Homo-oligomer: A and B are copies of this chain.
């Protein structure tokens, strides 16, 4: 057998882990400034620096044409009315696409391109969701159980978190009368000051 490790990997769609691969944890403290409702964020953080999600990646090879894959495990929950979500990022190599494969739970993918256009798609078990190049993407868990999905991407996709950290996404996903609702961030912020 060719020296290529790990060519075969087993993942667990329930726990969002890959056998033999270390997981990265993201807690509430890692997402300071990302949630719209800062009062709700402070209240949640004071109570507990909760785990929001884990990411586990496998990098079997490098070089032109090579692919990596990872599994994400995003817990259910909310900060105020905003659902638990990932930081979101552009790929450092902007043209890099990514394929998400939904395994468990229910959520939304928020997209925002370099011109600031926003849209979203669902992500559900047994779905393939295409993340185009040049597009920031954030995953939001809108359901009662963990949202688990695979991501397959070019080896050199990389992460650019900085751009999102500065400008954030223009849309938020919030609970409105028990329904997950995509809303402009500015409109959501106005509802907070009106209360």
Contacts and interface: CB of A to CB of B under 8 A. Distances in A.
- Integer count of this chain's copies in the complex: 2
A121 B65 contact: no
B127 A11 contact: yes
Interface stretch (A46-54, A55-63, A160-168, A183-191): A55-63
A111 B7 CA distance: 11
A23 to B, nearest CB: 15
24 contacts: A1-B119, A4-B130, A7-B121, A8-B122, A8-B128, A8-B129, A8-B130, A9-B128, A9-B129, A10-B126, A11-B126, A11-B128, A61-B132, A61-B133, A65-B93, A65-B133, A65-B157, A67-B99, A67-B152, A67-B153, A69-B152, A101-B101, A101-B150, A152-B152
A98 interface: yes
Contact of A2 (B7, B111, B123): B111
A127 B9 contact: yes
A13 interface: yes
Interface residues of A, number: 52
A134 B147 CA distance: 35
A4 B60 contact: no
Shortest 10 CB-CB contacts between residues of A and residues of B: A65-B95, A1-B119, A60-B130, A152-B152, A65-B96, A8-B121, A65-B133, A67-B97, A64-B95, A7-B130
Contacts of A58: 128, 130
A128 B63 contact: no
Given A1-B119, A2-B111, A130 B67 contact: yes
